Structure formats: structure tokens, C-alpha cells
Structure 1
Amino acid sequence: MIRVLNIIETISSGGVERRRLSMAKLLDKSTFELKIICTNSYGSFADEIRKHGVEVIEIGSLTNFLDVKQHLKVQKIIANFKPHIIHGAIFEGVTMAAINGFWKRVPIIILEETSDPQTRSWKGNLLMKALTLLAHKVIGVSPAATNYLINTLKIGKNKVALITNGIATPRTVSLDETIMLKKQLNISEHEIVIGSIGRMTDDANKRFSDLINAFAILVKKQLPVKLILVGDGVEKKKYIQQVQNLGLQKQVFFAGYQADTSLYYSIFDVFSLVSSHESFGLVLAEAMFHKLPIVATKVGGMKYIVDDKETGFLVEKYDVKSIASKLETLCENKQLRQEFGQKGFLKATQNYTEERYVNTIKELYSNLVTRHFRTVQPDKINKTTQQ
């Protein structure tokens, strides 16, 4: 039995915790025992993980990099669980995994870069570099992330692994559900629905303001369009005010946080994400599973997910006019929407399934454990993993 301790930051509904849910669901429980430490959790996502027999332990937020009280909590869990692997993601998780995994002599330390840190300070880069020196493997969730690890932090290529995100196959939405939601939102049959999904916590990143301004251009051109924004956060009030200032109250709907996003994807005709930076862009893969054409910015991992002029259009960040132009092209061409959507669906099913993701993680875990115990303690590999 290979014991794996995952350490992450807050569990809500983001990509990192979704990947841990995939592990909880699909890792072979006769081979792997999984435990997760998080700082905090919100909503029901942690309970979803627990339903699959994985313990989730909340320890509270770190007050600083060297929060002794929190590190001692992690060390106690390590002492009781005796993991063969400690796997940290996001700054807090990376910090706790690297420091405490090294201090408690966990055999294998894995760190995961989940962002595209274009604005990370030199101090942040130096700290991340120092932490990776304690790791046996460093995962990048996209080519953008691995490029950062190799080219900025100067980590050896043999130490870096590219493991792109995977998502669960979306549920099938019935026609009746779709019709009812469109009726509730007052969307007529001839209107084209543009949709976007994401946390509304930082407009400097997600740039929903750019999407709203681009949408306003389409409305001025009298295109029959509606914009649906799914998500919540502190920036939502600003977006609502922006919509009111532009006089778009009848064309823009804020759906708030939705646990079941499949229903909303089912009413979209076009999906758009225009972030200024993005490590991967999980919602793009989700949109592709729903056979939606995409308009996205050419940043981070998104430029690797969307094939320009094949599965959607890529535009420069902050370029509102280009965003509007590409949205207009898709709104006016149903055949192109269908072609892009079908090609995107094929790419998603080949590259972004949670089964593919978990199988890759399983192979990494197994190889590292086998290599470590054969090299360091060849007589203990079976005895240790069977305990």
C-alpha cells in the first residue's frame, strides 16, 4: 500500500481540488491510500472527496511562510500517517509539503506549480526555487507552467513533469432542462448565448470587464445576443455596475456560483475566457467537452488548449475590439461554431479526461516509489509499502 499525503490550500471548487477529487474517485484503493490536508474548505466539495473514503483534514490558514504552529500540525499528521509520498500544490501546500516532508524525512516529495506566475516577484521566484531543491519531482500543469520551472527557475528538465489537468466527463443535460433554463432567463430561440465561467475575485486576472465591454460592441451592432456569466466573488458588484452603466441589464445575466455548470454549458452557443494570465484554463476543456467554440486570450496554458482557427479563436489579452470581432464571427456563422465545437470535443476526449490524468499520476507515484526503494532500500520496498 502506497500512502500519499496531498497538501493544498483552500478547498472550494477550483482545478486543484477537482484533481484531488479525481484521485479520490479513481486511484486504486488496494494500491494507494490517500489523505488530504487543506487550510480551509468552503461548500460541499470536501464532503464529495470524503464520500470516496479519503480523509480531508483542515488545519487553518498560514499566517506567514514560517507559521510554526501550522507546520507542527502537519508534522503530527505525517508522524501518524507515515506517507511514502507528500504532494504539495499552491503556495501554502508547496511550502508545507517541502519543509515538513524534508524535516520528517518523507521518502518522496512532489511539488506542483499550478499557476502561470508572470507577475511573481524575484523574491517569490527565489523562494519557489529553494523549495523545489527539496523535491524529487516538480509537476507543471501546463506547458506554460513547465516553461516557467525550466526557464525561469532553472530546474533540470529531468526533474520536471508535465501533467495537464483532467476533468470528469460532464453529465448529459436533457432537452427539457435546457428549454426550461432558457425560458427562466428569457432567452429566445433566435438569440445567440455567449457564456463564461470563473471566479469573480480578481479582475486583473479573469478580465470579465473586457468580455462585458466586447459584448457591448455586439449589442451596439444589434446582434441578437445574450451574455451569461457564471461565478461569484468580490468583483461581481463592479461587473453589475459596469453592465448598468452600459445599459445592458436586459442582455447580461449573472448566474452566481453554480455547482452544476453542465446545465449552463448546455445553453451556451459560444464560450469565452479572456484572462490576462492562466496556468491552464480548466473551463476551456469543459467547454470543449460540451462541443462549444471558444474565444480566449493567447496566454499561459490557454494557448495550448485552444487551437487557433481550429477549435476557436485566440486573441491578445486586453484587446477588447479583437474579442468582439471573433465573437461576432462565431455568432454569425453557425456552421463554423459546429466545426470548432466538434474538433474541440475530439481534442478534449483525447487529452483532458480525468482517467488520463489519474493514470498519469498513478504511473508517476508508482515509478518514484519503486525507484526510491530499489536505490535506497532495496530490501524494504515490499515491506514498507505493505505496512
Structure 2
Amino acid sequence: MSRPKVCVFLATATLGGMGKALVQFLRTGGLDMCDPVVVAYSFGEPCETEFTSAVRESGATMACLHQRWRYDPTLVAQALRIVRESGCAMLESHGYKSHVVCACLHLLTGLPWVAFVHGWTAESWKIRAYRVLDQLVLPLATRVVAVSESLGNQLWAGARRRMVVIPNAADPEEFDGTPGRNIRKECGIPEDAVVAGVVGRLSPEKGQLHFLRALALARGRQPALQGILAGDGPDAMSLREEARRLGLNGSVHFLGHVGEPLSVYRALDMVVLPSLSEGMPLAALEAMMCSLPVVATRVGGVPEVVQDGRTGALVPAADAERLAEAVTGLADDPALRARYGEAGRERVMECFTPGRRAERIVHLYQHLTSAVRA
């Protein structure tokens, strides 16, 4: 069967969830089974970011849309030129901006269009408006790929009828090496400390505020417990202020954005996901791949990954007391942490491998391109 040629549109500068999932696909079989052209965006700057560097390192072909204004109508004309010059036979989009661009391209060219949905946030009226725009545009796609069943159920009816579910994955090769940094040493964390960490963007929907409150409660019962927050985002300043207010100075450590997640996971005894909403939590998959137990909220696609009482503990969202109880229970029981961690790695290796994910995506490409040729 011929190799599908796909134009993949994604507007991101960092290797967050969407960017990391795409680069993982390229590195773990995607480039062997199809010919992607990854289209990034620049805003008055050269198209050189953490994301574009990772795409180029994977060996994939790169192209760039040059955005002059926040809402730049020339993006569609630029994208159309890239599609025609590259000879792409399929469109793929990630995120609301790329969904809109690909909807226009789909109508102009008739090419099949696959729209990936990774989840939505709701921290401002503007973001909520983008979510509505997404829901209005997605029914135009040939197929909509949701990263979890829960997320797919949030799609409006028109998009849900075109939906398939392809969950995220964790690559064992990324987490079996030697970390470049000793974060415990950098932070001055005592050897006998039990460390609970949150990995992800510092924004309201990720629930780090509830983690800090839970950590303050848990330290009253387990004084050796310390916390790490790895990531950056709009809530960074307010979370630092809340940590000071709770008296957590010296016992919670803000790392900012860390380009090498393995260093973070190797510094932890457990990973906490205090999210208020989730699509398919990549941080949970990565933690389980690193044989770490996970304490998470029972939201979105989290229960599709974390098995309560087998690979970790699930608690209600925005409940600092229940979160503190679960964290303390694991902090007090090293054997339980080891058992959950081992079961978590087994689960990821069985159900969430990047090779299987890449095969499912390329199979979808082949099915859609074959239908067009027929």
C-alpha cells in the first residue's frame, strides 16, 4: 500500500501535550509508514522553536506559516500553497487555529481532513469562545480523532458521528536512559524525603492550587513530604504566592519548564494529577512508564489510564482533603508505591505503546486516501 502524504498543522512553540504527541508519532514509526509535512506557525519571528527543532531532529519535512496579526486571513492562502507544492493528499490539524485553517483547505481542495482533539481549557472567556468555535468547525472534518472516550463524548453530535478514539502513548525509550540533571540535589531535598510532583502547564484547569493545599495538609501528618511543580504558565506567580501563604517555603520547589522530563520523574516518589479537566493525561502515562504511582482526580480521560487501587488512587476534583489523604497513604507505604508503580508500567506497555498508536493513525490515513481514490 502506498505511503500517505499528509500535511500536519500545529500551532505551538513548546513540546507540550500536542507537540510531544506529534513528535513521538514521527519518531516511533510514523516516518516509516507515511510522508508527513509538518506545518508550524511563526508570529513575527523566525520559525525556530523547541517544537520545530524536535520535528527537524525527527527527520520530518518542515514548513511554516508566517502570521502577521493575531487573526491573519493570509494563513489560508499560505497553507494552500504549501499543500499544493508538497503534493499532500490529506490534511491533519491539532488545535482550534489549525482546525479553522484545515476546514478552509478542506472546502477549497476536497482533500480528506483528520482533526485531532486533545481537550479544552476554560480559563478565560476567549478560550471558552475558541472551544465553541472548535465545536462548530469539527463536524466539517472527514474524521475526528479524540484521545479518550470521555473527551469524545464531549463533542457535539455532528463531530461525534465522525469520531474515532486513538489514545495517547508513552515511549519507553524516552524514560529508560540516564537523567541529565539531579533535581533532588539541585533543590536541596533530603535523601529521606518523600517527593510528590505535578508535571504540566501551570494553569487553572490543571488544579495545582489544590495540590498545594493538599501538600500543606499532608505535611501535617507526614513532615518528610516535599513537593515539586514542573512546568510554566499563567498561574506561576499566584501559585508561588499561595505556597508562601501556606507556609510551604523550602518544602515545595518550582522548576519552571524542564526540557528533559526524565530528570523530573527520577526525582519523584509519586506523581499527582490534581486536574479539574483532562483529555488524555500524558503526564500519567509518562509517570507510569517510569514505574511511579499516580494520585489523580477522577475527571475526563484519567480513569481510562489510572486504575484506582491498582496503578494509583483516584479522588474527586477540587478536594484538597481527599487528595492529601491519598498522598499521605502512599507516602507512608513504600511497598504500595512500588506495587502501583510496577503495575502502572505493565499497563502502559500493554495498552499505550507509541508503535501501536502510530499504526492506528496510519491505518486511518490509508483508509481515507483509499476511499478518495475509489
Q: Normalising by the residue count of structure 1, what TM-score does the alignment of the two structures yield?
A: 0.87
Match of 1:260 in 2: 260
Cα pair 1:277 1:299 within 8 Å, conserved: yes
Largest Rg, 1 or 2:
1
The Cα shift of 1:267 comes to: 1.9
Cα distance in 1 between the residues matched to 2:100 and 2:59: 26
Cα distance in 2 between the residues matched to 1:88 and 1:348: 26
The Cα shift of 1:351 comes to: 1.8
Deviations 1:345-387 (A, max 9, x none): 111111222112111111111122122212xxxxxxxxxxxxx
Match of 2:198 in 1: 196
The Cα shift of 1:264 comes to: 1.6
2:27 matches 1:25: yes
The Cα shift of 1:251 comes to: 0.7
Match of 2:98 in 1: 93
Distance 1:83 1:345, change over 3 A: same
The Cα shift of 1:123 comes to: 6.8
Cα pair 1:98 1:131 within 8 Å, conserved: yes
Cα distance in 2 between the residues matched to 1:141 and 1:98: 20
Q: 1:277 aligns to what SS in structure 2?
A: coil
Distance 1:296 1:60, change over 3 A: farther
Greater Cα offset, 79-88 or 220-229: 220-229
Distance 1:81 1:101, change over 3 A: farther
How large is the RMSD of aligned CA atoms in angstroms?
A: 2.5
The Cα shift of 1:268 comes to: 0.7
Match of 2:144 in 1: 138
Cα pair 2:116 2:145 within 8 Å, conserved: yes
Deviations 1:271-316 (A, max 9, x none): 1011111111110000000111111111111121111111111111
Cα pair 1:116 1:145 within 8 Å, conserved: no
The Cα shift of 1:256 comes to: 1.5
The number of residues matched between the two structures is 365
Cα distance in 2 between the residues matched to 1:28 and 1:295: 32
Gaps of 5+ in 2: none
| Counterpart residue identity of residue 199, structure 1 | R
| Equivalent runs, 1:60-139 vs 2, <5 Å | 60-61=66-67, 67-106=72-111, 108-116=112-120, 127-139=133-145
Deviations 1:34-63 (A, max 9, x none): 111122467433112112332322324585
| Counterpart residue identity of residue 115, structure 2 | L
Cα distance in 2 between the residues matched to 1:215 and 1:29: 43
Gaps of 5+ in 1: 375-387
Match of 1:160 in 2: 163
Q: 2:35 aligns to what SS in structure 1?
A: strand
Cα distance in 2 between the residues matched to 1:166 and 1:68: 35
Distance 1:111 1:181, change over 3 A: closer
Match of 2:246 in 1: 246
Q: Normalising by the residue count of structure 2, what TM-score does the alignment of the two structures yield?
A: 0.90
| Counterpart residue identity of residue 142, structure 1 | S
Q: 1:237 aligns to what SS in structure 2?
A: helix
Match of 1:172 in 2: 176
Cα pair 1:116 1:148 within 8 Å, conserved: no
- Aligned identity (percent) is 21
Match of 2:349 in 1: 349
Greater Cα offset, 27-36 or 308-317: 27-36
